[in-house]
Amino acid sequence: MQHIEHLHLAHLTHKHSIRNYCRYVDNILLIFDSNHTNIQTILDNFNALHPKLQCTAEAERDHTLNYLDISIHRTPTNIRTTIHRKPTFTDTVIPYNSNHPTHHKYVAVRFLYNRLDSYNLHQEEYQQELNLINNILHNSSFPINPHKPPYHTPIWQKAPRTLKQNWTSFTFLGKENSYIRNIFKRIDLKIAIHTKNMIENLLSPKNHVPDGNIGGNTSI
């Protein structure tokens, strides 16, 4: 896609009066002058660039278009954005009472709050999203104040890293790992958690002893 954009994007944007072109992986957002051209003409031109490139188009409906995790609403004077969730969305995150490292559980919490703080939402949409986050965390048994979640620091408040981080690895045991993690924080040593209970290990022939061949080798 980068090569095709380098060769053809400038010509296509000028030809079709495309005001804005945004791409994230295989998702493209176009803003163009509908008085000059139409989406079908643009689509035909894009699909003609490469024999294996076949794009599909979704036009705005009722002045609204969904792109990635945002809904873009076009008003007579401005553009308004809200957070978009697909129909397959479920409010499922790792439950607080599950046997996972604590910092793994809070990854989703940090994501939800960072997105809330980063997106330019109007007050009404902001409150709706905050209520939804509170509901997700409540259903997952998180015992936190939703306005001050643990481990939640806005991106713009985080200090830049200036020193190389040192890491070590521990097998996940349970809450003991949290204690070990806090101890190693004092010497600025990061801990990565891993588990041996993986499909690769469970299905590995070396972990199975063949009948009648104690101590022997086997292979598949």
**Model pLDDT for residues 54-111, shown as the tens digit of each residue:** 888 888 889 999 999 999 998 888 888 899 998 888 888 999 888 888 878 888 888 8
**pLDDT tens, 145-170?**
654 555 555 544 555 555 567 877 77
Tell me, what's the pLDDT at 217? 42
Backbone angles phi, psi at 143, to 5 degrees: -90, 65
Spatial distance between the Cα atoms of 20 and 29, rounded to a whole number of angstroms: 8
Domain spans in the chain, listed from the N-terminal domain onward: 1-58, 102-156, 160-220
Beta strands at 79-83 and 166-171: parallel, antiparallel or unpaired: unpaired
In the 8-state DSSP scheme, what is residue 194? E
What is the per-residue DSSP string for 47-105? HTS-TT--------BTTEEEETTEEEEE-SS-EEEEE---TT-------TTSSS-HHHH
Q: How confident is the model at residue 34 (pLDDT cuts 50, 70, 90)?
A: confident
Spatial distance between the Cα atoms of 127 and 132, rounded to a whole number of angstroms: 9
Give the predicted TM-score (pTM) of the model. 0.59
